[in-house]
Copies of this chain bind each other. A is one copy, B any other.
Amino acid sequence: MSDAQDHKQKMQQVQAQHRKKVSEAVDPGRGLVLINTGKGKGKSSAAFGVVIRALGWGQKVAVVQFIKGKWKTGERRFFEERDLVTWHTMGEGFTWDTQDRDRDIAAATAAFDKARDLMASGDYDLVVLDEINIALRYEYLSVDAVIEGLKSRSDRTSVFLTGRDAPQALREYADLVTEMTEEKHPFQAGIKAQRGVDF
């Protein structure tokens, strides 16, 4: 068999397998729970990429940021200027900037109250809880409360949770868990964070 024929046969097999899997898959009739975790870059940016995808289909999106309050990021500038999504920021910045545990707990709790309302409202196709895993890791929020909030979401609503160290109970409840692993990072090579790339 020629290389071209061999290639064609292989691709036909790949196509057939793919079609079979697609045809057997079912619609769950509810939004999904998705987690991006791990130490690697791309957890929040992948969630914002999915926001773009949802907006491209005319869907409604809300974002609650649990940690990056003070910092003005490119994504926040982009979405706020265009009024494309409902945006809510916890407003206290990175936890190592506040150094006040009680204030962090109060801020995280208030942000999650807001998140629960957004998820339950039925007004959104997608709600992003950005860096919520950090709030869980520092025990500013309990994982039980977060899972309760996810369970009371509207059937219409998918939820994307980001941040390193997602707790096990949350991983078990989720439909999708992606671990981002850092193989190589410019900051480790002494390269400064770049506007547009890193924030």
Contacts and interface: CB of A to CB of B under 8 A. Distances in A.
Contacts of A178: 40-42, 180-183
Nearest to A61: B196
A158 B53 CA distance: 23
Interface residues of A, number: 83
Interface in A15-38: 15, 18, 21-22, 24-28, 32, 34, 36, 38
A95 B111 CA distance: 45
A176 B186 CA distance: 6
Contacts of A51: 49, 52
> How often does this chain occur in the complex, in copies?
2
B101 A4 contact: yes
A190 B21 CA distance: 8
Contact of A56 (B7, B43, B53, B73): B73
Contacts of A15: 96-97, 99
Contacts of A176: 41, 184-186
A146 interface: no
Q: Most chain-B CB neighbours within 10 Å: which of A12, A22, A81, A175? A: A175
A25 B187 contact: yes
Interface of A: 3-4, 7-8, 11-12, 14-15, 18, 21-22, 24-28, 32, 34, 36, 38, 40-57, 59, 73-79, 81, 95-102, 125-126, 158, 171, 174-187, 189-197, 199
